[in-house]
Amino acid sequence: FADVMHHGHHVQDIEYRVQHSDGSWRWHSSSALPSRDEAGQITGFQGIARDITARKQAEDEIRTLAFYDPLTQLPNRRLLTERLEASVDLCRHENHHGALLFIDLDNFKILNDTLGHDQGDRLLTQAARRISGCVHKADTVARLGGDEFVVMLHRLSHEAQEATQQAEIVADKILAALNHPYLLGSQEHHSTASVGITLFHREPVSVDELMKRADLAMYQAKAAGRNTQRLFDPAMQASVTARAALESDLRRALTEEQFLLHYQALVDDDGQLTGAEALLRWRHPDRGLVPPGEFIALAEDTGLILPLGQWVLETACAQLAEWARDPSLKHLKVAANVSARQFRHPDFVPGVLRALNTTGADPHRLKLEITESLLLEDVEEVIGKMRQLRARGVTFALDDFGTGYSSLSYLKRLPLDDVKIDQSFVRDVLNDPNDAAIARTIVALAGTLGLRVIAEGVETREHWEWLSRNGCHTHQGYYFGRPGPVGIIQEAIPNRTPPTQRASSPIRANPRPDADKRPGSR
Ligand code: C2E
Ligand code: MG
Ligand code: MG
């Protein structure tokens, strides 16, 4: 009010706090006008003061609600975003680094589901306090929701390496703090967390982008086994971007019919063609022929395997139907690969039957290759579906046998017809006694379970001989032919000398090394 008295200024609505005699604080808002005598001299002022404590409290509350997380009282996403924007600016101008740490509690959902939300809330509150204890006052700890926390570190070194170290030290501190047992009611609970770190410095980068990077790094920490930290690096992003591009290409591929099936011969001990395995190929407009190893996993993750797998079944069945019309080919079988996700889908059995019905293919000539990953979930259901299809004549082979986790008791119960020894054992069967022992064991085991054994990856005549001598009677591999357009199966029924006759001159060890690269139809 000195201004009013000395200069005659008019003061309007200034807000200030006063302490009452009982020690409590009140907010006032005042306006004042100078009052003058006849000579115009200021003699005092007239003012109004209002108590605005209630309004101030309401404003505070609104601000708290808008900017803070009600459970932990930490800044929420909105306030974090504001502060982060400011910090990014500051770092650019003052030439030091800042860091963003994404923290996600491991397996929090399980705790929440088993112990209840009250206990979950308690753990979150304690975690919030612990994280806050690991950083300076000027840094920000925020909660994004759920079990996700974010720490923004301020004023790290201007030197990248040092700044990284500083951020990693804090991340380690946080991990250690979150590792201590939590007391929830009377129970002790253990928890861990995963932390993703990204730094920012002078290059302009949006808050959104920074959050994405830290989030991505956090997922890498999870993938690395949890209870650890990972630093964002651009290669991470490149791989995510590539994956996203692949996914959209894959969706288009389905509608634009870029898929085709190649076939690889299956032969018996006499070198006679008994059938072929259908192997999926993708004729990518820019990348050429893409092998399934590069897109099946993504197709499974995205669910695209369902329409894709159905297409494989229908195309393979159509091939069977076509062979059935040719007396010299009508005995051939087709083996089609089925992914676990495809098999588990409720429409799987109806889908197979549909493919058989619409094409008129003989179900007895269709073999489905499944993998051990199917056995990780509900084995009863798997058995049920297999039975339904076997009742129609469809047969089953367990692919890549020996590489998975199947327990023998499951194997015994599965209504299988064949197991396929994985090529990794076949490859070294001649020079690695361990692999030879595994292969022999698989054959013996299959024998006791009444299953036949198919060997894949048969690359040389010596493989063929060894396998045939050791009880494996169906063979597949480069020695007999690489996968290729269906035509190569039909034309390549060479009469190889059976291994038992020990021909001295080896047959073309690699009859069609580039069969896969030849243009062809499905
Ligand atoms: P798989 O079913 O075990 O198929 C055998 C793989 O071994 C094929 O690779 C084949 O080209 C390769 N191979 C055959 N003979 C030899 C050999 O002598 N030496 C070596 N080193 N390799 C040989 P491909 O075609 O790249 O397929 C890879 C995998 O992709 C398949 O393994 C199968 O798991 C999956 N796959 C292929 N087609 C489909 C499909 O239609 N649906 C699903 N879900 N998966 C498929
Ligand atoms: Mg297979
Ligand atoms: Mg295999």
Q: From the CA of 182, how far away is ligand 3's center (Å)?
A: 47
Q: From the CA of 316, how far away is ligand 2's center (Å)?
A: 13
Q: How confident is the model at residue 180 (pLDDT cuts 50, 70, 90)?
A: very high
Q: From the CA of 13, how far away is ligand 2's center (Å)?
A: 81
Q: Would you say 435 and 406 are in contact if contact means Cβ atoms under 8 Å apart? A: no
- Supply the angle between the helices 305-324 and 348-359 in degrees, to the nearest 10: 30
Q: Would you say 494 and 466 are in contact if contact means Cβ atoms under 8 Å apart? A: no
**If you classify domain 258-488 with CATH, what class do you get?**
alpha beta
What average pLDDT does the structure give for the chain? 89
With H, G, I as helix, E, B as strand and everything else as coil, classify residue 397. Answer: strand
Note the pLDDT of residue 239. Answer: 82
Q: From the CA of 423, how far away is ligand 1's center (Å)?
A: 10
Residue of minimum CA distance from atom 17 in ligand 1: 457
* CA 476 to ligand 1: nearest atom: 15
Mean pLDDT, range 301-307, rounded to an integer: 94
- Lining ligand 1 with CB less than 6 A are 264, 279-280, 291-293, 296, 309, 312, 337-339, 369, 399-400, 423, 456-459, 476-478, 483
Q: How confident is the model at residue 406 (pLDDT cuts 50, 70, 90)?
A: low
For a substitution probing ligand 1, which of 312, 315, 337, 338 has the most ligand atoms within 8 Å of its CB?
337
Residues in the chain: 522
Q: How far apart are CA 385 and CA 372, in angstroms?
A: 15
Q: From the CA of 389, how far away is ligand 3's center (Å)?
A: 21
Q: Would you say 476 and 454 are in contact if contact means Cβ atoms under 8 Å apart? A: yes
Q: Is the pLDDT of residue 475 over 70?
A: yes
* CA 483 to ligand 1: nearest atom: 11
Q: Looking at per-residue confidence, does 318 or 5 come out higher?
A: 318
Mean pLDDT, range 76-92, rounded to an integer: 93
* CA 291 to ligand 1: nearest atom: 26
Residue of minimum CA distance from atom 25 in ligand 1: 279
What's the pTM value of the predicted model, to 2 decimals? 0.67
Q: From the CA of 200, how far away is ligand 1's center (Å)?
A: 44
Note the pLDDT of residue 501. Answer: 45
Q: How far apart are CA 334 and CA 277, in angstroms?
A: 6
pLDDT digits (tens, 9 = 90+) for 184-240: 888 899 999 999 999 999 888 899 999 999 999 999 999 899 999 999 988 877 888
Note the pLDDT of residue 286. Answer: 92
pLDDT digits (tens, 9 = 90+) for 121-170: 999 999 999 999 999 999 999 999 899 999 999 899 999 999 999 999 99
Q: How far apart are CA 493 and CA 438, in angstroms?
A: 31
With H, G, I as helix, E, B as strand and everything else as coil, classify residue 260. Answer: strand
Least confident interval from 302-311, 363-372, 396-405 = 396-405
In this structure, which ligand is nearest to the CA of 368? 2
Neighbours of 49 (CB within 10 A): 13
Residue of minimum CA distance from atom 3 in ligand 1: 400
Q: Would you say 454 and 418 are in contact if contact means Cβ atoms under 8 Å apart? A: yes
Q: Is the pLDDT of residue 12 over 90?
A: no
Residue % of the chain over a pLDDT of 90: 67
Q: How confident is the model at residue 505 (pLDDT cuts 50, 70, 90)?
A: very low
Residue with tokens 């399980």: 110
Tokens for 482?
A: 């690489």
Note the pLDDT of residue 500. Answer: 52
CATH number for the domain formed by residue range(s) 2-59: 3.30.450.20
Q: Is the pLDDT of residue 514 over 50?
A: no
Q: Looking at per-residue confidence, does 163 or 31 come out higher?
A: 163
Q: From the CA of 398, how far away is ligand 2's center (Å)?
A: 8
Residue of minimum CA distance from atom 15 in ligand 1: 477
Q: How confident is the model at residue 372 (pLDDT cuts 50, 70, 90)?
A: confident
Q: From the CA of 279, how far away is ligand 1's center (Å)?
A: 6
- 383: nearest Cα among 338, 351, 414, 341: 414
For a substitution probing ligand 1, which of 262, 264, 279 has the most ligand atoms within 8 Å of its CB?
279
CATH number for the domain formed by residue range(s) 71-232: 3.30.70.270
Q: Is the pLDDT of residue 519 over 50?
A: no
Q: How confident is the model at residue 407 (pLDDT cuts 50, 70, 90)?
A: low
Note the pLDDT of residue 499. Answer: 53
Q: Is the pLDDT of residue 288 over 80?
A: yes
- Domain coordinates of the chain in residue numbers? 2-59, 71-232, 258-488
Note the pLDDT of residue 375. Answer: 81
Determine how β-strand 229-231 pairs with β-strand 452-455.
Answer: unpaired
